[in-house]
């Protein structure tokens, strides 16, 4: 496996299959924050201490009886990556913007199918991330828990009998778990019900964030729903609450889609086909407009209003048309106007060539 493999393919292998409720739920993720005992958190660690953390993780990975999920996994140091390569990994949700931009002596361990991503020296020494397609937070948790147990037998974690796992951010203290589900909610956005739904979600202890997590914008009607508190709660209870709330969101989105079909089918068809037409013929497309149009087309596919195009093509284009991927494919730096031109060209090419069954 080479770095080029991770930065050239838009869709990770785990995303190529359909998961449960994949018409609305794009992916499920569980992340565990862990720190090594006796060492300062990354923000206070010296260069030698940060390097030592990477070395310890690397030694653990070389030990026998690695879990199947870590077979042939690669450790990649951030210092060995260009800014563009880091950006591509962010766009694929394999590393966080913080690890890409601010981490000192950071690294990431990636499994061949990219379902496992272990960030080193991000806000915490180790962040184990597991990704599954569709609504599968329980499955993601089981794998993350297995990997966590394996590392804990080889590394000494910072742990308190009274508060649990110690983390750099107080909101992660306790279980250190952050479970999240990425959902596509175009109908709720169109009917403006989303403005009432999100405040209700925050009242039950969950957070709604943009496509790249905290502080990011919700592009293409994609949102991340995750737990906010880990202290004093069992991991299983956190996962159960998140799953229950997301199931309710799915019901609301389905109801909104049915309502749109009943009261304004012609307008809805016009919107999704107009967006498909723009994507098929436009010569200049900004990132924001491309995501909005792709969201419309994805809705049209899921509702049976557009045929001959796979939903996976839409998933792939949502990544391929991001700035990092565009410039990696072009093998050069591009200004905003050049990216907009190349983005439009790439989408036209994909929609003409990658139709369902071809």
Tokens for 118, please give them.
């272990």
The model's confidence at residue 355, banded by pLDDT at 50, 70 and 90, is low
Is position 165 annotated in a ligand binding site? no
Please state which of the ranges 10-14, 134-138, 259-263 shows the lowest mean pLDDT: 10-14
Is position 209 annotated in a ligand binding site? yes
Q: Are 351 and 293 in contact (CB under 8 A)?
A: no
**What's the rounded Cα separation, in Å, for the pair 128 and 158?**
15
pLDDT at 12 (0 to 100): 75
Q: Which DSSP state fits 18?
A: -
pLDDT at 314 (0 to 100): 81
Closest CA to 165 of 31, 32, 29, 30: 32
The model's confidence at residue 214, banded by pLDDT at 50, 70 and 90, is low
The model's confidence at residue 215, banded by pLDDT at 50, 70 and 90, is low
**What's the rounded Cα separation, in Å, for the pair 313 and 56?**
40
Alpha helices per DSSP H over 162-286: 186-190, 194-202, 235-281
Is position 178 annotated in a ligand binding site? yes
Please state which of the ranges 28-42, 98-112, 123-137, 265-279 shows the lowest mean pLDDT: 98-112
Q: In this predicted model, which residue has the larger pLDDT, 104 or 195?
A: 195
pLDDT at 102 (0 to 100): 80
The model's confidence at residue 285, banded by pLDDT at 50, 70 and 90, is very high
Q: How far is CA 178 from CA 144, 304, 358, in A?
A: 11, 34, 39
- The three-state secondary structure class of 157 is strand
Q: In the predicted model, what is the mean pLDDT of residues 304-328?
A: 88
Q: Are 34 and 124 in contact (CB under 8 A)?
A: yes
Q: What are the residues facing 184 on neighbouring strands? A: 222
**Mean pLDDT of the residues in the chain:** 90
Is position 210 annotated in a ligand binding site? yes
Is position 214 annotated in a ligand binding site? yes
Closest CA to 102 of 115, 116, 119: 119
Is position 179 annotated in a ligand binding site? yes
Q: Are 187 and 260 in contact (CB under 8 A)?
A: yes
Q: In the predicted model, what is the mean pLDDT of residues 3-9?
A: 67
What is the CB neighbour count within 10 angstroms for residue 6?
22
Q: Which residue ranges form the domains of the chain, and what is each CATH number?
A: 3-179 (3.30.590.10), 264-353 (no CATH)
Please state which of the ranges 13-17, 62-66, 160-164, 269-273 shows the lowest mean pLDDT: 13-17
Task: Read off φ and ψ for residue 351, nearest 5 degrees.
Answer: -70, -25
**What's the rounded Cα separation, in Å, for the pair 129 and 190?**
32
Is position 29 annotated in a ligand binding site? yes
Q: Which residues contact 57 (CB under 8 A, 6 or more apart)?
A: 75, 107, 109, 118, 120, 126, 151, 155
pLDDT for 2 beyond 70: no
Task: Tell me how far the alpha carbon of residue 287 is from its chain's centroid.
Answer: 18
Q: Give the H or E element holding residue 314.
A: helix 311-320
For the ranges 14-18, 140-144, 226-230, 351-355, the maximum mean pLDDT occurs at: 140-144
pLDDT at 5 (0 to 100): 65
Is position 30 annotated in a ligand binding site? yes
Q: Which DSSP state fits 80?
A: G
**Strand runs (DSSP E) across 18-165, as ranges?**
25-34, 74-77, 107-110, 116-120, 126-133, 159-160, 164-165
pLDDT at 357 (0 to 100): 45
Q: Among residues of the chain, what percentage have pLDDT more than 90?
A: 71
pLDDT at 103 (0 to 100): 75
Is position 304 annotated in a ligand binding site? no
In the numeric block, the tokens 């026998």 are attached to 64
Q: Are 173 and 230 in contact (CB under 8 A)?
A: yes
- The predicted model scores a pTM of 0.89
Is position 182 annotated in a ligand binding site? yes
């Amino acid at each position: 496996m080479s770095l080029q493999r991770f930065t050239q393919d838009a869709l990770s292998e785990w995303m190529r299959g359909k998961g449960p409720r994949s018409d609305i739920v794009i992916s499920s993720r569980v992340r565990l924050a862990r720190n090594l005992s006796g060492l300062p958190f990354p923000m206070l660690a010296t260069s030698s201490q940060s390097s030592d953390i990477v070395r310890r993780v690397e030694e653990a990975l070389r030990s026998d009886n690695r879990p199947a999920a870590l077979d042939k996994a690669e450790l990649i140091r951030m210092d060995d990556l260009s800014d563009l390569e880091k950006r591509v990994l962010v766009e694929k949700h394999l590393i966080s913007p913080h690890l890409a931009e601010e981490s000192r002596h950071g690294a990431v361990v990636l499994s061949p199918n990219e379902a496992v991503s272990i960030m080193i020296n991000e806000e915490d020494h180790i962040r184990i991330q597991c990704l599954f397609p569709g609504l599968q937070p329980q499955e993601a948790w089981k794998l993350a828990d297995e990997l966590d147990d394996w590392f804990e037998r080889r590394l000494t974690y910072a742990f308190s009998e009274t508060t649990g796992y110690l983390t750099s951010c107080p909101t992660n203290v306790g279980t250190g778990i952050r479970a999240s589900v990425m959902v596509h909610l175009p109908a709720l956005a169109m009917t403006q019900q989303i403005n009432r739904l999100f405040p209700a979600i925050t009242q039950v202890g969950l957070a709604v964030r943009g496509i790249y997590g905290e502080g990011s914008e919700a592009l293409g009607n994609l949102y991340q729903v995750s737990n906010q508190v880990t202290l004093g709660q069992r991991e299983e209870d956190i996962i159960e609450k998140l799953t229950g709330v997301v199931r309710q969101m799915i019901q609301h989105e389905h109801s909104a889609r049915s309502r749109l079909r009943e009261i304004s089918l012609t307008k809805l068809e016009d919107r999704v086909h107009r967006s498909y037409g723009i994507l098929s013929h436009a010569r200049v497309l900004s990132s924001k407009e491309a995501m909005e149009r792709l969201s419309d087309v994805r809705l049209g596919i899921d509702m049976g209003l557009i045929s001959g195009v796979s939903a996976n093509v839409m998933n792939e284009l949502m990544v391929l048309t991001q700035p990092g991927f565009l410039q990696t494919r072009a093998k050069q730096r591009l200004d905003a106007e050049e990216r907009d031109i190349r983005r439009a060209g790439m989408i036209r090419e994909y929609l003409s060539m990658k139709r369902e069954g071809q």
